Amino acid sequence: MAAPFVDTARITVKAGNGGNGAVAFHREKYVAAGGPDGGDGGRGGSVILEINPHMSTLMDFRYKRKYVAGNGMDGQGKRCSGKDGEDLVIKVPKGTVVRDADTNEIICDMSETDRFVLARGGNGGWGNKHFATPTRQVPRFAKAGLPGQERQVILELKLLADVGLVGFPNVGKSTLLSVVSKARPKIANYHFTTLFPNLGVVYVEEGVSFVLADIPGIIEGAAEGAGLGHDFLRHIDRCRLLIHVVDVSGSEGRDPVADFEAIQAELKEYGSGLEDRPMIVAGNKVDIAADRSGLEALKAHVEGLGMPFYEISAAAQMGTRELMLAAARQLEHLPPITVYEPTYVERPPEVDTSAPLNIIHEDDTWIVEGPWLQRLMANVNFGDYESRNWFDKMLRQSGLFDRLEEMGIKDGDIVSLYNLEFEYQR
């Protein structure tokens, strides 16, 4: 039995925590007062997305939903830093769109970017070698590592195809794909033969080719979940051109014009501008059409809407090459396949700053630690001016600076917050 086609998945990713710094002192025979030599903790591993061109579904994420990178190792004596945590590389198919699970905003589109850091590992803590000063020669403290990022995301596969085939079930889309490309989709004379999208490369002539996608048939009421619903229309979101295949044979007693309008209504209901996408209409099964009245009515209706119309028989390979040539000519004048721009904006974490912090006074250094401060610092980009201002605002609102002044801090004293130090100024 073939593996099911999976094109959406919700996963949790957790980057590794940074290792703790070490408290150690140099000890060597005949060497007095060797001094502090505790090494830094290693950086936590990051979670990285990477394109695998051989993957075509998100099947790998069906059962495993949590991905955790390695933690950094703790520092050691003799100024030995801990080993960095191992990065976790997650393979995804090309065309996977990554969204934030809470806001549905796009974090990245794995179409042109081969690698993307989805969750950053936490920085390692400083060893006590960093805290030695002329007045504090025996620092007996080090810093804990910072936690890695954790986030929930939705993976959504949107196939990368230039042209998408749409239409009712059993109108001949899979047959058309099989005769114009080397794809071998399942073909049978019953509805919903195609249960997942199929891709094929159409070679028109030397130097001219495009990717064609066969999308499972949709029916009236798909927006309400009828048939296969809209589950697979996401795969033509990127398509530059649509080929609407309509059965004009009358073999099932259907009205081609009514079928055409029903599918157009479903495309509009789905949204994403599919109803306005450039379209070619192909009247299929003309070789078994006993009555051409339906075909002629569809042709007049479609051409009245300004769309090109082609008579074809996919099974008999009649008119299929002309159809593909027309598609290739139209693609020459259309913009490239859509790549989704990120819309996700990193938001400051909600941190409860009411819990008291642990403050240790060592000579002219004030060491501040606490769970909420550790979490806060793990989410601050200290290279960004606005992010630093927000961090300063959170510290002031927490009452930390008021408490330091009550404890007697002076201008020029050092405030040490994990792997950050600064001189205190009123």
In the three-class reduction of DSSP (H, G, I as helix; E, B as strand; rest coil), residue 369 is classed as strand
For residue 113, pLDDT beyond 90: no
H or E element, residue 330: helix 320-331
Does CATH place domain 1-157 in 2.70.210.12?
yes
* 300 φψ region: left (φ > 0), alpha (ψ -120 to 50), beta (else): alpha
Alpha-carbon distance of 382 to 376, in angstroms, equals 12
Report pLDDT for 23.
87
Report pLDDT for 144.
85
For residue 233, pLDDT beyond 80: no
270: which residues sit within 8 A by CB, 6+ positions away? 222, 223, 230, 233
Cβ–Cβ under 8 Å, residues 175 and 187: yes
Domain range 163-331, CATH class: alpha beta
Question: Which of 211-215, 353-357, 417-421 shows the lowest mean pLDDT across its residues?
Answer: 417-421
For residue 49, pLDDT beyond 80: yes
For the chain, domain boundaries: 1-157, 163-331, 351-426
Beta bridge partners of 243: 165, 280
H or E element, residue 153: strand 150-157
Tell me the residue type at 399: G
* Alpha-carbon distances, residue 248 vs 245, 275, 294, 324 (angstroms): 9, 21, 6, 19
Pick the more confident residue, 234 or 22: 22
Does CATH place domain 351-426 in 3.30.300.350?
yes
Please tell me the pTM assigned to this model. 0.76
Q: What is the pLDDT of residues 169-196, one digit of tens each?
A: 888 888 999 999 886 755 445 344 445 6
Match 């309400």 to its residue by tokens: 224
β-strands 115-119, 150-157: how paired? unpaired
In the three-class reduction of DSSP (H, G, I as helix; E, B as strand; rest coil), residue 92 is classed as strand
Question: Which of 205-219, 367-381, 395-409 shows the lowest mean pLDDT across its residues?
Answer: 205-219
